[in-house]
Structure 1
Amino acid sequence: MERFLREWRQDALNKAQYDSAIFIGDKLLAMTKDDNDAFWLAQVHFAAGNYTRAQTLLSKQDLIASNPSCRYLAAHCLIRQNHFVDALALLGERSPTHLFASNPKRKTGRGNTGRAGAGPGRGTTTKAPERQGQDRGDDAVGEESSNRRYEAAMCYLRGLCYAKQNAFDRAKEAYKDALRIDVQCFEAFSQLVKNSLMSPDEEDEFMQSLEFGSIRGSSDDPDMDEEPADYVRMLYQTQLSKYRNPRAFNTAIESLSTHYGLGRNADILLAKADLLYTQCRFKDALSITESVLEDDKYNFAVYPVHLACLYELRKNNVLFLIAHELADTHPDEPSTWLAVGIYYFATGKIADARRYFSKASMMDANFGPAWIGFAHTFAAEGEHDQAVTAYSTAARLFTGTHLPQVFLGMQNHAMNNMTAAEEFLKTAYSLCRTDPLLLNEMGIVLYHQDRLKDAAKMFTQALRIADDMDSDPHAWLGARTNLAHTYRRLRLDDDALREFDTVLRDGGKDAAVFCAKGLIFLEKAMPDEAVRVLHEALAIHPQDPIATELLNKALEESAAVDDLGLDPSSSHPDGGDAMADFDRFEEELGERKFAARARLESRARGRDKGKAVAGKVGGRRSGRLAAGGGAGGAGGGESFMEMSDE
């Protein structure tokens, strides 16, 4: 009869018929008074959402102190009730370091944890009924393995408690301890990656330290013992930062797709889309996220990348439809209000966007895209102090990602606080050395500090890394334009012309670029070439005052050559050379720029150098620059006055 009732209880639990499972489990416990049956009844209560009843049952049976599985379940009940202090007191604050799988001295069965449970840990805490027929030695090994996994799960719960108390460093260590004990504790790994608690370098180092060799399959073939370990390692590799090791990522993706048929798996496709987003290949990333949502319209893990790509590609109508549908069907999901906020941000309704980003962040305090979007709304309005506060909060919550530090640097740059901007960007560089956006911003700050050679190195490195990671070249026209202006100020005229020509060839048809070329030709005493390119600038922007003024100067120089037959370099009545004259001209441009910026400061601050709104933090990536901002950004809308000296 006991066996019959246990099978009935398990069948009801498998079918989510919790009332039946509770009814039968209660009768079984009354008959047997067995700790194992008490544990399983508590499991049924937990599955049904009766957390208080489950905890009370475990306490009344005096199971919490005697067995890791019962202690884990009781702590989980407290966490579900938001009693984090009580849960932490029950779990304790020290991790069982003697259980770390990477410890070569540890042997199976060592430590008192494996022998702690004479009751629930022995039979069917999580074990299938068929394990009851194995011999006593296999039971002992299985019980010890099960207890290890519960100890790892308790480390994971410690991390959740610490995170709720804003002790993120302790939370990170608890999650890492969980993986050191049991590398298959994916919940802990997911928290580390999703919340960006580790930098890309730290992720790589931690992955190398994990004992994947402890994973063993159930096959009797010894040649297959290492396959599960390799499989889990590749799955974890797809979830890591896409900045650190794209080759390892591509190898893992190819192997999982080819050998295990995961090419159409949603998580694998999302990882691909995330990589493409970091490469600024927004159309390709969007096509992947659309295919995932066609199969599962409510896969909310996909929406941060999907919405960011829609914003970058200015698909406002699609954003409206998605936001409207999600608000109707899933008002309790943070991604819903992220979508609403991004739509309002894209349509210029900044106050409404801020309200919905704030709502999403309140629903999930660890939702990185909402925090970044919230901060972007202040930056878009030129409220730099509030933006700095919001970005600082994001940097505190997501310590492993460099993007909040990048945005802090950009805000300080907008406030002309170059020293603070440089410090924030250096902090970001210590977290990630392979993001072209960061390197471009560092180059801009160096440019404004008149450290032109260092700025040129940063712009060159940004373009090299963007090329190595197969990024969309159009996304980094701003960085190339910045490099060209740096060469121009360094008097490397041929290099500057080469870079400007590359910008124009790749699609950067901007009047300011032609103006810059015209100024170089004037400096090189080539007025006819200057006249030609300045006419092209006016063809794009007929009212451009800088192009008009430069054209008049070029025509004067050309007339001096044609009428007097003089070399422009010696045609100045004071006997000076043309270079000194153009130096004075640049000084005049700088003075005019300063006056213009003083008049238009409020409007100029409203333009936040082309930043995009929410990408993903942590798991995912946060907002990125659109087509490269900064000195002479690639957007093509800045005046030559800004382009020449910024």
Structure 2
Amino acid sequence: MEQFLRDWRQDALNKAQYESAIFIGDKLLALTHDDNDAFWLAQVHFATGNYTRAQAFLSKQDLIGRNPACRYLAGHCLIKQSRFEEALAVLGERNPTHLISNGPSNKRKASAQPRGGRRRDDDAGDEEAATRRFEAAMCFLRGICYAKQNAFDRAKECYKDAVRIDVQCFEAFQQLMKNSLLSPDEEWQFLDSLDFDSIQLTGDPKSSQEAAEFTKMLYTTRLSKYRNPAAFDTAYDSLSTHYQLAANPDLQLARADLLYTQCRYRDALTITNAILEEDKYNFAIYPVHLACLYELKMKNLLFLIAHDLADTHPEEPCTWLAVGIYYFSIKKIAEARRYFSKASMMDAHFGPAWIGFAHTFAEEGEHDQAISAYSTAARLFMGTHLPQIFLGMQNHALNNMTIAEEFLKTAYGLCKSDPLLLNEMGIVKYHQDKPKEAVQYFTAALKVADENDSEPSAWLSARANLGHAFRRLRHFNRALAEFDEVLRAGGKDAAIFSAKGLILMEQNRPQEAVVVLHEALAIHPQDSIATELLNKALEETALVDGAAEDEAEDLADFEQHLERRKLEASHKLNGKRTGRGTMDKGKGRLGRRRTMLIDDEDEREETGMDMTDDIDDEA
């Protein structure tokens, strides 16, 4: 009869027929008085959303004190009711760290034991394993309580202990990764510290080892994509080929996230589009998908997505994130801020919403409010370097170079391989009159971007900044080469043409500067810098032309004087007829002399240009 009732209860649960499950479960508990049957009945109440009834039932049966599973469920009920202090009181505030395994040594001990133990020993082992799993789950719930109380350091430790106690407690691992509670270096160190060898399949050591490796590869795909892309690629390739998970949405999302960090927006968008075609409302995909659409300026698609989500899922934070990004893309900043704020209120730990909310203040030049919002994001998401970068940018905009440098150094401590960060550090060094150090950072940013195979257009600013740093160092030819590369890759830019014009004027090439500055003004006619430089270039050109005219007049006077003297000499020496022949000879000689003078002048100009190039090269 007991087995019949358990099967009936399970069948009702499988079909989500909760009334039937409660009815049968109540009769089964009356027959058995078993703690497990009481736990299952409370589980059904929990599944229906009746958290108060489930918690009261567990308390009345006095199950919380003697059964870890029931204590876990009671704590979960209280968390669902936002009664976090009471939940901590039920769960206890201390983690059972004595349950944390010591790594592979435990597996060796387990493998050394004979497999053919008694059935009672097997049952005891299963019970111990179940207790261990529920203790890990309670660590996870403690972390939830601390996070809700904004005690993020304690929450992080609870999540870490939960995974250390039970490496299969993915909920806790996901909280660490999703909320960026660990830096990229800490994430990889934490992964290496986990005891995947504790995963055991009954009676099959080889399968246990494969399961451990499979779990580690799955976890590897969830880590930061900045730190170790090679290890990610290895895990991704193995899962895709050997286990045929290439089309799995979670694996594809990890791949799209990697491509996004490498600024390969079109490649990432191709993947997210493929995922959403199969599952249109997979909300884990939308933050990366929306970010790619924004970077590629696809405003119409942003509008369509935001409109559809607002109609179908107004209760999802991602919906209002999409609406906020659309308004931000069309420069309606006040509306964007309102919807970013709405998304963050629906989920206080939704990172993209907080970053977007802060961006709206930065876009309007409200630096103090932007710094406050970015600081909140930095406090909520301790492991990501992005809020620190943005804080550095805002202090740079306020000309607080020392503070900006400190924030960027903090970001660099979290992540050393982000080209955006390296570019910003170079900008600060440039404005601190340290162009040599700026060149090092700009060069490093371009090197990392090239290694990541990023889209060239994504790093035009870094290349332009490198050109300005070379100009400051008076490496004019190298600066011109960088500016020319920017113009080839990014089309027309008035500021770059103006910078080229300035360099050409420094090289005493005003005529070429005039041409370049005219191109700048053709793009931006009201550019005051280009206008001023053009006026100076034209003045220098006029001075050069005037000097050339004066020299030509002096040369003509000299030739006339020389011809007159030669004519007089020929008359005195040879008479009229001979003088005429001599005069003809003199004309020929004068003609050759003029050519030589012109040749000398050209040679002198060419020599002057060569000297300028030598000076530039030496600089």
TM above 0.5? yes
Query: Partners in 1 of 2:108 and 2:52 — Cα distance?
Result: 35
TM-score by length of 2: 0.85
Matches within 5 A, 1:355-374: 355-374=338-357
1:261-410 correspondence to structure 2 within 5 Å: 261-410=244-393
Question: Any conservation in 2 of the 1:102–1:180 contact (CA below 8 Å)?
Answer: no
1:248-272 per-position Cα deviation (integer Å, ceiling 9, x unaligned): 1111111111111111111111111
In the alignment, which residue of structure 2 is the partner of 1:585?
Answer: none
Amino acid of the structure 2 residue aligned with 1:173: E
Q: Which residue of 2 aligns with 1:101?
A: 101
Give the alignment's TM-score, normalised by structure 1.
0.81
Q: Read off the aligned partner of 1:425 and give its amino acid letter.
A: L
Q: How does 1:140-151 map to 2 (within 5 A)?
A: 140-151=124-135
- Conserved 8 A contact 2:107-2:197: no
- Secondary structure of 1:292 counterpart: helix
Structure 1 residue corresponding to 2:415, chosen from 420, 432, 441: 432
Residues in 2 aligned to 1:193 and 1:233: alpha-carbon distance in whole angstroms: 14
Shift of 1:553: 3.0
Alpha-carbon distance, 1:61 to partner: 2.1
Alignment check: 8 A CA contact 1:159 1:170 kept: yes
Amino acid at match of 2:64: I
1:169 paired with 2:153, answer yes
Over 3 Å counting, the alpha-carbon distance change for 1:109 and 1:554 in structure 2 is closer
User: Letter of the aligned partner of 2:487 in structure 1?
Assistant: L
In 2 relative to 1, CA 202–267 (structure 1 residues): closer, same or farther, beyond 3 Å? same
1:22: how far off? Answer: 0.3
Distance 1:108 1:283, change over 3 A: closer
In structure 1, the partner of 2:30 is 30
In structure 1, the partner of 2:165 is 181
| Letter paired with 1:91 | L
| Separation of aligned partners in 2, 1:221 and 1:98 | 27
Aligned partner (choices 447, 464, 471) of residue 464 of structure 1: 447
Q: Number of aligned pairs?
A: 549
SS, match of residue 260 in structure 1:
coil
Q: Which residue of 1 aligns with 2:70?
A: 70
Displacement of 1:561 in angstroms is: 4.0
> How far does the alpha carbon of each residue in 1:396-426 deviate from its partner, in whole angstroms, 9 at most, with x for none?
1111111111111111111122121111111
CA shift for structure 1 position 107: 8.8
Per-residue deviation at 1:18?
A: 0.7
Aligned residue identity for 1:2:
E
**Greater length-normalized contact order (CA 8 Å, ≥ 6 residues apart):** 1
Question: Could you tell me which amino acid in structure 2 is paired with residue 61 of structure 1?
Answer: Q
Tell me how far apart the structure 1 counterparts of residues 476 and 327 of structure 2 sit (CA, whole Å).
44
The CA distance in 1 between the partners of 2:475 and 2:194, in whole Å, is 51
Q: Is the 8 A contact 1:200 1:431 kept in 2?
A: yes
Residue equivalent to 1:39: 39
Residues 1:104 and 1:267: Cα distance change in structure 2 (over 3 Å): closer
Amino acid at match of 2:375: S
- Report the RMSD for the aligned CA atoms in angstroms: 2.4
Report if the CA contact (8 A) 1:98-1:106 is conserved.
no
Once residues 452 and 317 of structure 1 are traced to their aligned partners in structure 2, the CA distance between those partners, rounded to angstroms, is 42
Matched residue, 1:138? 122
The offset of 1:164, in angstroms, is 0.6
Over residues 331-354 of structure 1, what are the superposed CA-to-partner deviations in whole Å (9 max), with x where a residue is unaligned? 110001111111111122211111
Instruction: Please tell me whether the aligned partners of residues 336 and 360 of structure 2 are also in contact (alpha carbons under 8 angstroms).
Output: yes
Q: Distance in 2 between matches of 1:103 and 1:215?
A: 11
Question: Residue deviations 1:535-575, cap 9 Å, x none?
Answer: 4333433443433433343344344445535999x99xxxx
- Which residue of structure 2 aligns with residue 248 of structure 1? 231
The structure with more radius of gyration: 2
After TM superposition, give the deviation of residue 527 of structure 1 in Å.
Answer: 2.8
Give the equivalent residue in structure 2 for 1:15: 15
Q: Which residue of 2 aligns with 1:51?
A: 51
Cα distance in 1 between the residues matched to 2:15 and 2:204: 35
Unaligned runs of 5+ in 2: 111-117, 552-600, 606-610, 614-619
Q: 1:245 to 1:109 in 2, by over 3 A?
A: closer
Tell whether 2:478 aligns with 1:481: no
Q: Tell me how far apart the structure 2 counterparts of residues 98 and 222 of structure 1 sit (CA, whole Å).
A: 26
Report the secondary structure of 1:226's partner residue. Answer: helix
Would you say the 8 A contact 2:103–2:193 is kept in 1?
Answer: no
Q: Output one character per residue of 1:272-309: Cα deviation in whole Å (capped at 9) or x when no partner.
A: 11111111121221121111111111101111111111
Give deviations 1:550-604, integer Å, cap 9, x for gaps.
Answer: 3343344344445535999x99xxxxx999xxxxxxxxxxxxxxxxxxxxxxxxx
Q: 1:68 to 1:21 in 2, by over 3 A?
A: same
Paired with 1:402 and 1:535, the residues of 2 have a C-alpha distance of 42
> What residue identity is the alignment partner of 1:139?
D
Match of 1:193 in 2: 177
Conserved? CA contact 1:156–1:178, under 8 Å: yes
Matched, 1:541 2:530: no
Aligned counterpart, 2:578? none
Residue 32 of structure 1, CA deviation: 2.1
Distance 1:184 1:266 in 2: 20
Structure 2 partner of 1:514: 497
CA distance in 2, matches of 1:267, 1:250: 15
User: Would you say the 8 A contact 2:103–2:197 is kept in 1?
Assistant: no
How far did 1:320 drift?
1.4
1:428–1:332: structure 2 CA closer, same or farther, 3 Å change rule? same
Residue 404 (structure 2) aligns with: 421
Amino acid at match of 1:178: A
Distance 1:319 1:201 in 2: 34
Where structure 1 has 5 or more consecutive residues not aligned to the other structure, the ranges are: 111-133, 572-576, 580-646
Q: Tell me, in whole angstroms, the C-alpha distance in 2 between the residues paired with 1:93 and 1:324.
A: 45
Post-superposition shift, 1:517? 1.4
Residues of 2 paired with 1:548 and 1:46: CA distance?
A: 73
Preserved contact between residue 35 and residue 61 of structure 1 (Cα < 8 Å)? no
The 2-side partners of 1:217 and 1:463 are apart by 48
Question: Structure 1's 485 and 135: CA in aligned 2 closer, same or farther, altered over 3 A?
Answer: same
Distance 1:481 1:181 in 2: 51
Alignment partner for residue 155 of structure 1, among 127, 135, 139?
A: 139
